[in-house]
Each structure stands twice: as C-alpha cells, then as structure tokens.
Amino acid sequence: MGKFVNNIEEFFAFCKDNEVEFVDFRFTDIKGAWHHITYRLGAIDEGMLENGIPFDGSSVDAWQPIEKSDMILKPDVPTAFLDPFTADPTIVVICDVFDIYKGQPYEKCPRSIAKKALQYMKEQGIADEAYFGPENEFFIFDNVRIWTGINRSGYEVDSDEGEWSYDKNYEDMPNIGHRPGTKGGYFPTMPTDSMVDLRAEMMQVMEEIGLEVVLGHHEVAQAQGEIGIKFGNLIEAADNVQKYKYVVKMVAHLNGKTATFMPKPLYGDNGNGMHVHQSLWKDGKNLFYKEGEYGNLSETALHYLGGVFKHAHAVASLTNATTNSYKRLIPGFEAPSILTYSSQNRSAACRIPYGAGEMATRIETRFPDSSACPYLAFSALLMAGIDGIKNKYEPVGPMDIDLFELTLDEIREKNIPQMPHTLREGLEALIKDHDFLQPVFTELFVDTYQHYKFETQVWPDEARPTAFEFSSTYSC
C-alpha cells in the first residue's frame, strides 16, 4: 500500500481512470481537526494544483483576523486518495497552508510546522529521517448524550459491551450476557468481543485508502479497540493519524455506532492513548541502536529521551491537549505519568519495546493521546529530543519495577519527575519553556496556542461544577 499518484500528471490520469467527479482539499487546524473544501474536477487545472487554492482563514479558530483573511491551500498531490464514503467519486488531497502576507508557509499550520521540524533536524545535522509509529486507541459506543447549561450538565454513553448492560431488557433480542467488564477487554474472542466485524471493516477501508494495516484487536476497556498500522516518517505518520481517525469515525457512523478518541470517556476503566514509537536515522543507520546496551539503546537515544523528559510539562500541552487528557494520566489505568524509562515495562512513561536488532530498536512514549493534533505532538517530541541530543540531557532510569505500585510519597522520596496533572500546568510550562521549540514553533504560534487552549479548554472546564462536586460538597 502507499501512494496512488506521484505527481500532477499521474493525478489527472488517476482521476480519469476512477471517473472522479470531485476534488476534496483538506487541511488541519491547531486542534487537529480536518477541514475541507470541495471542487468539481472540471474546475481544477494544473496551475491550481501548483499554485494553490484560495480560502478564508478568518473562519478557522485562532487563525487569521478578518482584515487579513485570504490564505492559500497548497495541495500535496502525492497524498491523494479516493474517499471511500462519498456517494460520488471524490479524490481527497491533503494540503499545507500558505501565508500570502508573509510569503511563507503559515506559522499556525500544523502540517507546515511539522515540515519545518524535519528540516530543522536535517539542518542541525542530527539525522536525515525521523520515524514515528502512533498507536491510536478508540471507543465505539451505541449512543452518546451530552448536555450543559447554567443549572445542568451531564453526559451518558452506552454500549452493549458495558457492564451496566447486564440487567438491561432489550425489546427485540435477548440479553446475551457476554461482556468484557471493566478492564477485561484485552483479547477476548467473540461473543465477548462484539466488535470483530466492525474493526475488520475499518481495517479493510484503511487499506483501500493506502494505509498499511498490521493488526486489530479489542483493547483493555469495555467497548474499546485498536488497529495497528505501519510507521512512517513524521509527516506520513501524522497524515495517517488523520486518515485513521476519519475511517474509524465514519465506519462506526455508517454502522449506526459512534466512535470517539476522547482520552477518558469512562470513569474507572482504561482510557484512549496514542503511544508514539520513535527513532532517528542517518545514512541508513538507526541512531537509537547500540547492541549490548540497556534495551539496545544508544547514547543518542538516551539524550533524545532526556530532552523529552526535561521538557515534558511543556510538551504535554501539545501531546495531551485537552483537560480530559489528564483524567487518563492517573496510576492504575496503563497511562504512565512517571517520567522514567524501562525495557518492556508498560508502567513507565517511556517503554523500550522488545525487538531484535537495529531495525526494531526504538523508544515508545506512552503518555500522549489522540486529542492532540498529531503534527504538533510529533513535532514537539522531535524538538524536545533534538534539544536533548544537543545538550546531552540524561533521563531518569532505567526503572524496571511496577511504577504503578509506588505511592505518591515514594515517588517524592525517589525524586522521580512526573507529568503535569492538568492542562493548566502544561500550558503554564509551555509559556515558560518553549525556547527548545524555536525556530520551528514561532512565538506567535505559542502565544496563540496557549491563549486558545486556556479560553476553550481550561477556563470553561474550571468554571463548571461537576456531578462529583455535587455529590461530595452539596451537604457540606
């Protein structure tokens, strides 16, 4: 699997062969959400694909003011794929955003930032390729209800797999009684795993649009799944996350279900992570590999990891980008918050996966989640790692014990650093510690990002009473 076209000439030939009628140009905002604008194929010519598509940048959150709203979408033609969900043949092209006022790639375009990060890595002589392998987990629910207001707020998700459904009376069918239960969802067969066919359909559709699918399985939580796809370079990996999320949501939708990548939708059960495997390569050699060392990790790999850990609080604002993210990062739910590394140990913030030889040696940061914009998350990890390599930062570890068993007092006694406990902490760290991100993330971007997250996530969340607060405080 992979590319369907390599250049503009092949693009038009591919469109003709597949009787394409529409061209869908897509770009990513700072939240990580895809936006799109659709053209009739007959309205598109070679010049538009080379020079770009105009659009209104003021209508995208935290982007341009209305008096400077004209922007350009620059199509990356080799990203083209046929949309598997449209009624009429439609080809999707992923785009970067160009700033006509500064005559440069837009400094708030996540995909453009990711390209700058790779270019910076090469210019600094660090490496010539950065490989990323994200693992995106998701929930599939049968129904979701959300309400919020001055005097009421709440939510309810439902799934036949949920343990709350054991005593449910169904009108048209019996209650089958086979359910994974809380934390019981890892690898059961049917009928306990009720999502086998749904995941299979997702895997097939992913392959149709060019993703190289490796595996699929039920995850630990009830109603939770994961599909594994092959790693790629930073840009490919982030593009693939966008395609992956699109397919999961749409296949669920067309089957009368609803899919979410929300980090922590269920209280008391595991949440959704986006574990990120990483390695740097130069001249065809894996810079993270040194045979015989702990986990076969080289000094370069440890310094890279040292940079990630040193800047982890600021990085978290980009890798764990919502207030809900930090409800996942608590001990006991396979979401590590202790900043150390360990070989094959899933309780550490960084795991060194088992793998034989140079090709398989890598690090796996386990704290990120899919609420992050993948381009920004991967770029932040890379920039922190580069800073670690340049300054020879050393990570805490290795620690091979079950870190989930440590008490808070023991963590303090051992002086083990932790992830931030809230998005506010992460954003405040970003404000103080973002020199390592420059020149790839500009001051304007950092300022825009932190204000946007405070205004749309932190302050609205902090201002709202919760059901738990009522249950614990109402009678005080």
Q: What is the 3-state secondary structure (H, E, C) of 30-83?
A: CCCCEEEEEEEHHHCCHHHHHHCEEEEHHHCCCCCCHHHCEEEEEECHHHCEEC
pLDDT digits (tens, 9 = 90+) for 366-389: 999 999 999 999 999 999 999 999
Do the Cβ atoms of 351 and 366 come closer than 8 Å?
Answer: yes
DSSP conformational letter for 169: P
- Give SS3 for 153: strand
Name residues whose C-beta falls within 8 Å of residue 400's C-beta, 6 or more positions apart in sequence: 342, 343, 345
Active-site residue (options: 129, 346, 358, 461): 346
The answer, yes or no, to whether the previous bond of 54 is cis (omega within 30 of 0) is no
Residue 258 pLDDT: 98
Domain at 129-139+227-473, CATH homologous superfamily: Glutamine synthetase/guanido kinase, catalytic domain (3.30.590.10)
Residue 403 pLDDT: 73
Residue 332 pLDDT: 64
Do the Cβ atoms of 235 and 218 come closer than 8 Å?
Answer: no
Active-site residue (options: 135, 161, 239, 369): 135
Name residues whose C-beta falls within 8 Å of residue 298's C-beta, 6 or more positions apart in sequence: 287, 288, 289, 290
Is 135 in the active site? yes
Is 346 in the active site? yes
Residue 387 pLDDT: 98
Residue 236 pLDDT: 97
The structure tokens 């963590």 sit at 411
Kindly report, as residue ranges, where domains of CATH 3.10.20.70 are found in the chain.
Answer: 8-106
Q: Which of 216, 108, 218 is nearest to 447 (CA)?
A: 108
Residue 355 pLDDT: 73
pTM of the model: 0.96
Q: Strand 129-141 relative to strand 274-282: parallel, antiparallel, unpaired?
A: antiparallel
What whole-number distance in Å separates Cα of residue 352 and Cα of residue 276? 11
Active-site residue (options: 26, 179, 275, 351): 275
Q: Strand 274-282 relative to strand 232-233: parallel, antiparallel, unpaired?
A: unpaired
What does the buried/exposed string (b/e) look like for 321-339 if buried means 16 or more CB atoms within 10 Å of the residue's CB? Answer: bbbbbbbbbebebbbbbbb
Beta bridge partners of residue 137, listed in sequence order: 226
Is 275 in the active site? yes
Kindly report, as residue ranges, where domains of CATH 3.30.590.10 are found in the chain.
Answer: 129-139+227-473
Side-chain-side CA neighbours of 384 within 13 Å: the count stands at 29
Annotated binding site for Mg(2+): 135, 137, 219, 226, 275, 364
Its CATH architecture, for the domain 8-106, is Roll (3.10)
What does the buried/exposed string (b/e) look like for 58-94 if buried means 16 or more CB atoms within 10 Å of the residue's CB? Answer: eebebbbeeeeeebbbbbbbbbbbbbbeeeeebbbbb
Active-site residue (options: 218, 366, 424, 434): 366
pLDDT digits (tens, 9 = 90+) for 184-238: 899 999 999 999 999 999 999 999 999 999 999 999 999 999 999 999 999 999 9
At residue 237, what is the residue type?
A
Annotated binding site for L-glutamate: 270-271, 328, 334, 346, 366
What does the buried/exposed string (b/e) look like for 272-309 if buried means 16 or more CB atoms within 10 Å of the residue's CB? Answer: bbbbbbbbbbeeeebbbbbeeeebbbbebbbbbbbbbb
Residue 172 pLDDT: 87
Residue 83 pLDDT: 98
Distances (CA, A) of 11 to 35, 93, 381, 426: 21, 10, 33, 43
Is 219 in the active site? yes
Active-site residue (options: 56, 410, 455, 462): 56
What whole-number distance in Å separates Cα of residue 264 and Cα of residue 329? 9
Is 56 in the active site? yes
Q: Which helix (H) or strand (E) holds 286?
A: strand 285-286
What whole-number distance in Å separates Cα of residue 435 and Cα of residue 441? 9
Per-position pLDDT tens, the chain of length 476: 578 999 999 999 999 999 999 999 999 999 999 999 999 999 999 999 999 999 999 999 999 989 999 999 999 999 999 999 999 999 999 999 999 999 999 999 999 999 999 999 999 999 999 999 999 999 999 999 999 999 999 999 999 999 999 999 998 889 989 999 999 899 999 999 999 999 999 999 999 999 999 999 999 999 999 999 999 999 999 999 999 999 999 999 999 999 999 999 999 999 999 999 999 999 999 999 999 899 999 999 999 999 999 999 999 999 999 999 999 998 666 667 889 898 877 778 899 988 768 999 999 999 999 999 999 999 999 999 999 999 999 998 888 777 777 777 777 777 788 899 999 999 999 999 999 999 999 999 999 999 999 999 999 999 999 999 999 999 99
Annotated binding site for ATP: 277-279, 346
Do the Cβ atoms of 194 and 183 come closer than 8 Å?
Answer: no
Is 137 in the active site? yes
